[in-house]
Structure 1
């Protein structure tokens, strides 16, 4: 099956795991058709049925995106003659949601398990992705130099991962965790690497009464906090592990306190009147 073949080809990438969930709906709808039988109307019918069942437009966009990627992979590997056109509903505009430092502190305090609290602290203080934080081992935490290396040796996981300094608050949390460590992983439970913190994180959000918050919100909040405090975009890009600062600029420049200030001065007609 093409879907399973593409998942195997992805290996350990996060998309492979996600496709284990999205495939249930996609294959139920498209599984009986050959690639050359997939039409625009079939894609539209899928989108209508899924959204009528209460599935968000964003989720449907992702599901059909996985189908499109599968077909493209199959064509590239000459498993099919040509990839069909997969029409998707427009990707919805993402909701602007970020947390203040006070919100993050409340979230950490609301975590019942120590490893959840530590993971949230690491997510914000390093601006790292959840996969990087859960992969982190003690040999990449340099207490003496005060740095954390979120990168792994293989090239696949180096993308988007940085080497970042440890602030005082995180240093205290890490020292406590190091004393109680039972494994090589910084975030652990029962002496083993933690595969997911989603349930514990969502429970902490509930207790802290924070809505519309995802794990990625923490990384986004860290970036907003840095930029809004006047940290140069180039430094924020390095912190986030962005190889191209223009990506960081396009996403976060509007949060900089000086952003568009010069443009606003040009439009100040009151000064013009005063000069007359």
Structure 2
């Protein structure tokens, strides 16, 4: 049995000991040191006999099993890879601030942006909170995260969009760019789009893979005339079920082709996701209501849309500014 020591915690007494180099600490009900020494042994026996607490890997797997079929589960399969590599073998009580900072440093050295680390550590917090709610663990440690990045301002002007179209020499890249801009869809949704979800009779495109999901950032959106004409031409030449194809086969990514087009157009800091941002900014600048933009973007609620895009609307805070015009005379 390890040496039990009495200490102070949250204004009271506690017992602590070291196990595999890590301190185990538990609050006591005792008010005096003599009472604490007697209670400490009972606490140790209780904790020693308790089944071993689940690791982060255990909790993560159980969380995914409960959320199976939901978009969040699919997302957390990917965010879980780096998180579990670092935290997987640990129990919740073994996670502390230095451990989290170490994880962030490792990810930064791998070229990962702070926003991604913010998301990954947020998913770790989600799993631990779920573990406490389901009574699999007793305590959720504080998980320090990097500051959440401000929304990116990079978007394309109409002149830049024209340059990008003109520079896209490959037909499938040009069509993918037009789809992303016209539907405000993520590149993944565009590459997964099949012809059975392009409804020319209703002039609609269903960006969802199925009626049940994934739904993140995916919606049913109308086709504008320019996109309709481009899709009708592409449909006649189609060799597969996928709208974006190359040599009759679907594509998993268009990174190289898109980057070449952006470089040829003389555009810097432009990725496929910038096109989604561009679509939303142009809608906001045209005065489209935030509720409509939110639906178009497939956002779960309007507050997300307002936080990022309301500042681009010509009427944003206009009434508030008029109220603060103290030069007006009664």
TM-score normalised by length of structure 2: 0.68
State the partner residue of 1:104. 161
Specify which structure has the higher proportion of strand.
Answer: 2
SS at match of 2:221: strand
Is the partner of 1:156 in helix, strand or coil? coil
For each residue in 1:145-165, what CA deviation from the matched residue of structure 2 results, as whole angstroms up to 9, or x when unmatched?
Answer: 322222343423245432222
Which residue does the alignment assign to 1:57? 114
Structural mapping, 1:250-269, within 5 Å: 250-269=307-326
For structure 1, which runs of at least 5 residues remain unmatched after alignment?
A: none
TM-superposition CA deviations, 1:105-163 (whole Å, max 9, x none):
32233334322221111111011222322222212222233222223434232454322
Residue 199 of structure 1 aligns to a residue whose secondary structure is helix
Q: Secondary structure at the match of 1:251?
A: helix
Task: Tell me which of the two structures has the higher relative contact order, counting C-alpha pairs closer than 8 angstroms and 6 or more residues apart.
Answer: 1
Is residue 2:96 matched to residue 1:39? yes
Cα RMSD of the aligned pairs, angstroms, is: 3.2
Secondary structure at the counterpart of residue 210 of structure 1: coil
Deviation at 1:78, TM superposition (A): 6.3
Higher helix share: 1
Matched, 1:118 2:175: yes
Does the alignment pair 1:204 with 2:264? no
The aligned counterpart of 1:19 is 79
TM value normalised by structure 1: 0.80
Change (3 A) 1:2 1:117: farther
Within-5 A mapping of 1:153-192: 153-158=210-215, 160-192=217-249
Residue segments in structure 2 that go unaligned for 5+ positions in a row: 1-56
1:5 pairs with 2:61: yes
- Equivalent pairs, count: 270
Distance 1:248 1:30, change over 3 A: closer
What does the per-residue CA deviation read over 1:69-88, in whole Å, with 9 as the maximum and x for residues that have no partner?
A: 45445556666555443222
Taking the aligned partners of 1:7 and 1:190, their CA distance within structure 2 comes to 40
Q: Partners in 2 of 1:53 and 1:145 — Cα distance?
A: 46
Of 178, 191, 198 in structure 2, the residue corresponding to residue 141 of structure 1 is: 198
- Are positions 1:216 and 2:276 aligned together? no
Q: Secondary structure at the match of 2:213?
A: helix
Aligned equivalent of 1:91? 148
